[in-house]
């Protein structure tokens, strides 16, 4: 079974007993399609879906397979294929609504995959990448790094997925998980730059992010939602810093108290300092499971709830959400101020006594140092969050 592309007559698709083969030069050269999980099975029929540029394959014994958006194949000219690497331009990436239709069931119940929530970044490599760096970065209109995406080292056409989201906020651990903050806010619609670094060579291409065409809200309302979600995002990270700083002082005080006699007045001061830190921490995070059932909800849990409500809808936030964000921010800062006053009052004398006993003084984590550590951890792990979605490999 052979099928000619409906747009570029040089792109051919050949269904064989052992899978799908593709040619981009009118049949002079062929490459086996090795997309994710595609089996080596007979391909009996091929149809090109014109609106979405999808390739639909009827296989023998493995059902229908759909290769999403074959338009990159149409751009593979001899000039591009002669380069070591190239980013392939694609269509706009749409931020479709993230919703569900409830749980209606019945005789006509249908289950299928949702629309893709990621932007696809397509790039070409003449040969398999072996030496040097290979990374994909997404930059905003100001050239600021938004995210780093994991890339494949395969030769041929590769696809990498970008979530179109800011990385998730750092959240302090507690008795209950904060699922509402598992994702970062969706980035604003607009034009972004994809930068591919391969060894000492760099390649760039534009990527357009667009609002769901069904949206009833404006770009200005979408920006208001993003700005407020990022404000809560920063409060979550400010909270996480505060918890780590409080825990750091508490743990250090406990550790040093163990090295002293119970009769030593300094040992009692250290235990009191640790207890005071625990009291402050309990104002920020829940220390028991149960959430709203047991009343064990603190600033952390309330921030998570408002963050989830704001990021759950891309339109204009409500007046209540704006006011609630302000209120929680002030409440958090009151605890942070109390912690700073406590350490400024107690630590100088305690550290002086520790020094006399040849014990290490108790440090206080600064927010600047916490941010550096957090950014370093995020940079190291950002590639792990991305996944490669499809690969065409040339023979």
What Cα–Cα distance (Å) separates residue 335 from each residue in 350, 360, 371? 22, 26, 19
- Contact at 8 Å (CB) between 58 and 48? no
Q: Other C-beta atoms within 10 Å of 122: how many?
A: 23
Find, among 81, 56, 45, the residue nearest to 395 by Cα: 81
- The backbone region for 367, taken as left when phi is positive above 0, alpha when psi lies in -120 to 50, beta otherwise, is alpha
What pLDDT is recorded for position 88?
A: 93
pLDDT at 103: 61
Helices and strands counted in the chain (H then E): 7, 16
* Contact present, 109 and 154 (Cβ < 8 Å): no
pLDDT per residue, tens digit, the chain (395 aa), is 899 999 999 999 999 999 999 999 999 999 888 876 788 899 999 999 998 899 999 998 888 999 988 999 998 888 898 899 999 998 899 999 876 665 666 666 666 677 778 999 999 998 888 777 789 999 999 999 999 998 888 888 898 999 999 999 999 998 888 999 999 999 999 999 999 998 888 999 999 999 999 999 999 999 999 999 999 999 999 999 999 999 999 999 999 999 999 999 999 999 999 999 999 999 999 887 765 555 578 999 999 999 999 999 999 999 999 999 999 999 999 999 999 999 999 999 999 999 999 999 999 999 999 999 988 877 666 544 434 434 444 44
Cβ proximity of 209 and 119 under 8 Å = yes
How many residues in the chain?
A: 395
pTM: 0.84
pLDDT at 200: 85
341 DSSP 8-state letter: H
CA distance 234 to 240: 10
Strands (E), the chain: 2-4, 12-16, 19-23, 31-32, 43-49, 54-59, 64-67, 85-88, 93-95, 119-125, 134-139, 145-149, 156-162, 190-198, 201-211, 388-392
- Decide: residue 96, CB within 10 A, 0-12 exposed, 13-18 middle, 19+ buried: middle
Q: Are 386 and 149 in contact (CB under 8 A)?
A: yes
Q: Exposed, middle or buried: residue 357 (CB in 10 Å: 0-12, 13-18, 19+)?
A: exposed
pLDDT for residue 212: 94
Residues 6+ apart with CB under 8 A from 187: 140, 146, 164, 165, 166, 209, 226
CA distances from 25 to 10, 13, 28, 83, 249 (A): 5, 11, 6, 16, 67
C-alpha distances (whole Å) from 200 to each of 71, 133, 152 are 29, 8, 17
């Amino acid at each position: 079974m052979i099928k000619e592309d409906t747009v570029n007559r040089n792109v051919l698709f050949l269904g064989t007993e052992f899978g799908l083969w593709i040619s981009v030069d009118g049949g002079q050269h062929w490459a086996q399609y090795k997309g994710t999980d595609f089996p080596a099975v007979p391909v009996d029929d091929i149809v090109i879906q014109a609106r979405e540029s999808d390739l639909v394959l009827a296989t023998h014994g493995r059902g229908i397979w759909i290769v999403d958006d074959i338009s990159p194949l149409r751009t593979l000219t001899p000039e591009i294929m002669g380069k070591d690497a190239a980013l392939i331009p694609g269509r706009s990436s749409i931020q479709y609504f993230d919703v569900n239709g409830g749980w209606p069931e019945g005789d006509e119940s249908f289950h299928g995959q949702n629309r893709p929530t990621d932007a696809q970044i397509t790039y070409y490599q003449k040969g398999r990448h072996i030496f040097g760096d290979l990374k994909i970065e997404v930059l905003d209109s100001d050239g600021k790094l938004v995210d780093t995406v994991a890339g494949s080292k395969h030769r041929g056409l590769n696809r990498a997925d970008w979530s179109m989201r800011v990385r998730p906020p750092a959240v302090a651990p507690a008795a209950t998980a904060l699922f509402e903050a598992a994702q970062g806010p969706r980035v604003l619609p607009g034009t972004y730059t994809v930068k591919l670094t391969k060894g000492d060579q760099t390649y760039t291409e534009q990527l357009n992010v667009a609002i769901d065409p069904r949206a009833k809200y404006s770009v200005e309302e979408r920006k208001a939602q993003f700005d407020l979600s990022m404000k809560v995002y920063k409060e979550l990270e400010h909270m996480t810093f505060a918890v780590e700083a409080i825990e750091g002082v508490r743990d250090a005080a406990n550790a040093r108290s163990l090295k002293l006699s119970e009769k030593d007045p300094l040992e009692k001061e250290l235990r009191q300092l640790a207890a005071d830190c625990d009291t402050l921490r309990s104002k920020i995070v829940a220390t028991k499971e149960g959430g709203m059932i047991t009343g064990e909800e603190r600033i952390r849990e309330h921030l998570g709830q408002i963050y989830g409500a704001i990021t759950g809808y891309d339109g204009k936030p409500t007046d209540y959400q704006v006011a609630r964000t302000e209120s929680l921010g002030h409440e958090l800062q009151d605890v942070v101020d109390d912690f700073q006053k406590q350490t400024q009052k107690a630590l100088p004398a305690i550290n002086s006594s520790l020094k006399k006993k040849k014990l290490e003084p108790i440090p206080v984590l600064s927010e600047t140092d916490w941010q550096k550590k957090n950014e370093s951890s995020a940079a190291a792990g950002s590639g792990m969050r991305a996944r490669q979605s499809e690969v065409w490999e040339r023979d």
